[in-house]
């Protein structure tokens, strides 16, 4: 079955960077995109961007454009999301999800990674 396993929780100071990983298994990694979604405490889901493991193409949401970089490593079936210049309002659970496109949406999700930004 499709499985997305993310890296563990992290605590960062304001201004630092964080990198979250997402290891995929159970399907051909290059056949589907990976989207990243975050959820601040008690808040709604917020899409951060998408990457194609097939060709590395990316699309970032305006809310993080300029501070985020999404990459993939096809040799290990792993996707990464790096967020820079962290602020306190970046504190959230970050999820990766297999993105099947406009019709099927996000059909599998990672377990989530809590990133806490605090001085």
Q: Which residues bind to another protein, rule: CB under 8 A?
A: 35, 37, 44-47, 50, 59, 61-62, 95, 97, 102-107, 109-112
Contact indicator for 77, 23 with CB cutoff of 8 Å: yes
Instruction: Provide the minimum distance between the beta carbon of 65 and another protein in the complex, in angstroms, as a whole number.
Output: 10
Question: Closer to another protein at the Cβ: 78 or 113?
Answer: 113
Start-to-end C-alpha separation, the chain = 40
Burial class of 75 by CB neighbour count within 10 A (0 to 12, 13 to 18, 19+): exposed
Question: Closer to another protein at the Cβ: 39 or 71?
Answer: 39
Instruction: Provide the minimum distance between the beta carbon of 42 and another protein in the complex, in angstroms, as a whole number.
Output: 10
Question: Closer to another protein at the Cβ: 2 or 16?
Answer: 2
Question: Closer to another protein at the Cβ: 101 or 119?
Answer: 101
Instruction: Provide the minimum distance between the beta carbon of 56 and another protein in the complex, in angstroms, as a whole number.
Output: 18
Instruction: Provide the minimum distance between the beta carbon of 107 and another protein in the complex, in angstroms, as a whole number.
Output: 5
Instruction: With CA atoms as reference, report the closest residue to 19 among 83, 79, 73.
Output: 83
Q: How far is CA 61 from CA 14, 24, 37, 71, 118, in A?
A: 21, 23, 10, 15, 24
């Amino acid at each position: 079955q499709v499985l997305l396993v993310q890296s563990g929780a992290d605590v960062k100071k304001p201004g630092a960077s964080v990198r979250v990983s997402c290891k995929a298994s159970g399907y051909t990694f290059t056949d589907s995109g990976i989207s990243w979604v975050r959820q601040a405490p008690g808040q709604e889901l917020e899409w951060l961007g998408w990457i194609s493991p097939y060709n590395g193409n990316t699309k970032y949401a305006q809310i993080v454009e300029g501070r985020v970089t999404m990459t993939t490593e096809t040799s290990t079936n792993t996707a990464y999301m790096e967020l820079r210049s962290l602020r306190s309002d970046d504190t959230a659970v970050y999820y990766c999800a297999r993105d099947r496109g406009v019709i099927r949406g996000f059909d599998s999700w990672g377990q989530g990674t809590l990133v806490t930004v605090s001085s």
